Chains A and B, each alone.
Chain A
Amino acid sequence: MPLLRSQKLAPKPLDPPPPPSAPPIDPSTPARSDASTISPSLSPASSVALGLGFDSSGGAAPPPLRRSLRLASAPNSTPARPLAMDSARGKRKARSRLSSFPAEEKGGEMGENGVGPKPRVWKGGAMEGRIMNLRSGGRIVRRRMEMNGAEVGHGVENEDRMVLEASRNRELAVEIGRGTQQDKKAEEGKGPSIEEKETVEFVAEEDEEDLQNGDRSVKRQKLGRSKAVEVLRGEADESKVTKLDSNVAIPELEKGGNEEIDSKILVVPNSNHNIEDLPVRSSNSMEDTNKESVVRYMTLRSGSRIADRSTKVDHVNLDEVHKDGTQVHAKRRYSCEEKGKGRLILDDEHLEIYSGKETVVQQFNGGVINSEPNDSGGAGVPGKGKISAEEKGKEKMVIEEDWAAIDGIMGNSQMRAGSVRLREPETVKGLIEYRREAERIKAIELAPKFAFFKSEEDNQNDEEDSDELEPEAGPQDWPGPFSTAVKIIEEREARLRARESNSSSKTEKSTNLRISWAPSKETISDHFVRPAPSLKDLSLKVLLDNAEEIESLEGVPDMLKHWLILMLCRSRKMNSHLLAHILSGSPTEIYVSDCSWIAEDEFEGIFGKCDTTNLKAVQLDLCGRCLPDYILRATLSRSPCSLPSLTMMKLTASSIKTIGENCPGLSAIDLRNLNRLNDSVLGHLANGCRLIQKLNIRRNAFRFPPIFHIIIANDQAIAAFLEASGGSLTELSLNNVEKVGHHTALAISRRCSNHLQCLDLSFCRKMTDEALGLIVDSCLSLRILKIFGCTQITNVFLDGHSNPLVKIIGLNGQILDHINIPEFL
């Protein structure tokens, strides 16, 4: 009889401070009295289960109301108790507050209802209610409802139902447990099913199985595991129910101390097998033992689960979980493993959240457990973020967000951030209650939302692996603005949907965000009219069409010539003939944007005839074909003046040498995509071009983030180059020159300190904080420093450099802020 349980529960500290109002939060209180009231409270239990606010106590079963409610809802079966218990457990789990579900209850009760130990008697309905809220806000609520419904139908085992409900809640918590629980809970029936649906099942199963996992499941629920819900519904395994009971017991234990734990513990190891375990657990003092029990519980579950699911319960380091902090962690791990990759984490989160404390729900990213003893918020955050990302991809995160919302102030914020901070259990209790209430409400709101997630969940599950494999970005990468934005949007949608469904006003647009904008009445016809094309363009176009007819370009100003060349090259009409025309008459600048059509001899011929006395700028893009070494030597050697800008591809070492020898005034050289650049090349450049101002060693044909390899050049060569001729360097780009290191840094700081304005050291992984600091501090003209992809740079450099003008780009992931920074060259 549930009574038993509840009675046990009652003594349990589970009940947080008088649950606020009858509403869902109540469960805690009812839970207490659930024992006795369980049976009668079935009905209330059902309501409680809903957690939507129904009085936990609906009936007699006060604190365990939730749980008991379930029972009640269950088809009046006596076992209702177990159900209630389960649910309670579930709730409890989440609640963690309830945490101290007397394991004993479970153990004992389980037996009685026939379902199995239903120790779950949640601390009172509160648990359940709470769980509901906790878990997923919406989920739980829904679940409960479902469960209740299911339960009602279930004549068989009320417990199961309850379990389901509880499990739902637990799902969140349980989810974690599921992983492990699987095997445990005798959810045989569920087991398989559960396994399929990693996330959902887990939850659902959890409920059934591990009402205890309630906490866990709760968490998961939060994640919007619709699956869990589904599972729950579908599976109303009776057996599970029983298990839950046992699980419930555990959470009870947890409650004592760590709310969190409780939540975690919620993972009800439903399985009957667990029962045995449970009792053990329950015996543990809730607080401390909660953890332990939880841990154990988890282990139990995991143990069993693992077997079933073959989840990766690798890191079920429950043992190591310290009571407070670790508990959470352990849970997490557990969940991770249990669920396979992602789910576990979810549970952890839930658990933690429930605990009312701000447990840092560290999301494991597939098992990355931040077992920090004190889940001080910080830790959780990254973890969470990860988990969220991994587990559910966006969805999870959203869910968690929801949870956060649900919890409101409850430390659920963690969920959001993914970090659950653990708080002292003492205060948690009251807080928990409050939270539960809030959660419940939120859950209600979100319930419909979760309904939609099912498919997503499924997909999510499938992609769990991929999610988990997502690179765990460094601390700076969490949570990226994009994922946050996605979360927010999803949340918004969910809320909208929830609202709509709640209000049952089915309008087509319900799910669409309403964008309020109406076109202005006045007709502005002018807007539609394009500005007339300029005469220049028009004539240019005609000229192009008749390019063959051009006889001479005498008198055409250079700018127009450039334009013409550009258009010609674009339209593929360029030929040497035209080029000859263009180059005739002592041009001062030659910009040929595409020299790929020029053959070597043509080039030689053309440039041979070209009067280069006034030539100031030569830009020959894409001239790989026409500029082998000798050509370059021949042509350029005749140009007396400096070539201010030289952009080439595929230059070899000797050609560079030639340039170096012949262009003493070279002030800008852009050696992009030079695969064969090596030390001697740089040496020649350095010798010859002392006045170089812009050095761009990168590979790119589009003038955009270049990823250039200097294959052979090493640190010393570049340093030597800079030493020799870097005095007037204003822009230096060593993007992706991997070997750049300390020597270069020293050279830069010594030689380039006067004029250097833009420095690009992206992807130079050998640059350390010290090196960068030295550079920045000694180059007083430095305005822009780009260090994309330099993950080795830390705050030591960022905070420590003393150059006020420098703008550092590329470290914090907010690249969009810097998009308008002009690329040099």
Chain B
Amino acid sequence: MKKEDTVKLISAEGFEFVVDKKAAMVSQTIRNMLTSPGGFAETQLGEVTFPEISTPILEKICQYFYWSLQYASGKETEFHIEPEITLELMMAANYLHT
């Protein structure tokens, strides 16, 4: 994976998740961050930090990104969510507009 194709998502604990740009673009918030005009660090560095989102949640979110791409290309599978994280996941998803 070339560097140009990826973005780095950093969780509250500091974990870094490197994902495809295309995948990250599933989230409207991230998309806006990465494509907004103006000299934002996110745009230039290609990194986005989420101080409110914990690591397991962010991990689940990244999984969702890829699942969403897969779903859009025709392969419709099931995305399982553990009930325990549901609430937080919902809030994070709401924040990320995804």
Contact = CB atoms under 8 A, between A and B. Distances in A.
Chains A and B are bound partners:
yes
Interface of A: 525, 528-532, 534-536, 538-540, 542-543, 545-546, 549-550, 553, 555-557, 559-560
B71 interface: yes
B73 interface: yes
A557 B94 contact: yes
A535 B74 contact: no
A534 B98 contact: yes
A542 B86 contact: yes
A535 B89 contact: yes
Contacts of B90: 535-536, 539-540, 543, 560
B89 A531 contact: no
A542 B81 contact: yes
Contacts of B93: 534-536, 538-539
Interface in B57-98: 61, 64, 67-68, 71-74, 76, 79, 81, 83, 86-87, 89-94, 96, 98
Contact of B91 (A525, A546, A557): A557
Does more than half of chain B's interface fall in helix, strand or loop, or is it mixed?
helix
A555 B83 contact: no
Contacts of B96: 535
Given A529-B71, A542-B81, A557-B91, 17 more contacts: A530-B76, A532-B71, A534-B93, A535-B92, A535-B96, A535-B98, A536-B93, A538-B81, A539-B81, A539-B86, A539-B90, A539-B93, A543-B86, A543-B90, A545-B83, A555-B91, A559-B94
B79 A536 contact: no
B86 to A, nearest CB: 5
Given A539-B81, A556-B91, A532 B86 contact: no
Contacts of A545: 83
Contacts of B86: 539, 542-543, 546
A532 B74 contact: no
A535 B73 CA distance: 17
A502 B72 CA distance: 54
A546 B79 contact: no
Contacts of A553: 87
A535 B93 CA distance: 6
6 contacts: A531-B72, A532-B71, A534-B93, A534-B98, A535-B61, A536-B94
Contacts of A536: 90, 93-94, 98
Contacts of B67: 532
A146 B94 CA distance: 77
A525 B94 contact: no
Given A535-B64, A535-B93, A560-B90, A529 B83 contact: no
A543 B81 CA distance: 10
A136 B58 CA distance: 77
B91 A560 contact: yes
Contacts of B71: 529-530, 532
A542 B83 contact: yes
A725 to B, nearest CB: 39
A526 to B, nearest CB: 8
A539 B72 contact: no
Nearest 5 A-B pairs (CB), nearest first? A535-B93, A539-B90, A532-B71, A532-B68, A536-B93
A529 B68 CA distance: 11
B66 to A, nearest CB: 11
A809 to B, nearest CB: 36
A539 to B, nearest CB: 4
A512 to B, nearest CB: 36
Contacts of B83: 542-543, 545-546, 549
Contacts of B26: 532
Contacts of A532: 26, 67-68, 71-72
Residue among B74, B79, B87, B98 with max Cβ neighbours from chain A (10 Å): B87
A539 B57 CA distance: 12
A556 B68 CA distance: 25
Contacts of B79: 538
Nearest to B75: A529
A553 B64 CA distance: 24
A632 B49 CA distance: 47
Contacts of B81: 538-539, 542
A534 B93 CA distance: 8
A562 to B, nearest CB: 12
Contacts of A560: 90-91, 94
A543 B87 contact: yes
A134 B90 CA distance: 74
Contacts of A534: 93, 98
Nearest to A526: B72
Given A545-B83, A549-B83, A539 B89 contact: yes
A571 to B, nearest CB: 15
A254 B76 CA distance: 79
Contacts of B98: 534-536
A123 B83 CA distance: 93
A558 to B, nearest CB: 11
A535 B87 CA distance: 11
Contacts of A539: 81, 86-87, 89-90, 93
Nearest to A545: B83
A540 B68 CA distance: 17
Contacts of B64: 535, 538
Interface string B17-58: 000000000100000000000000000000000000000000
Chain B CB count within 10 A is highest, among A536, A550, A560, for A536
A662 to B, nearest CB: 34
A578 to B, nearest CB: 13
A560 B91 CA distance: 8
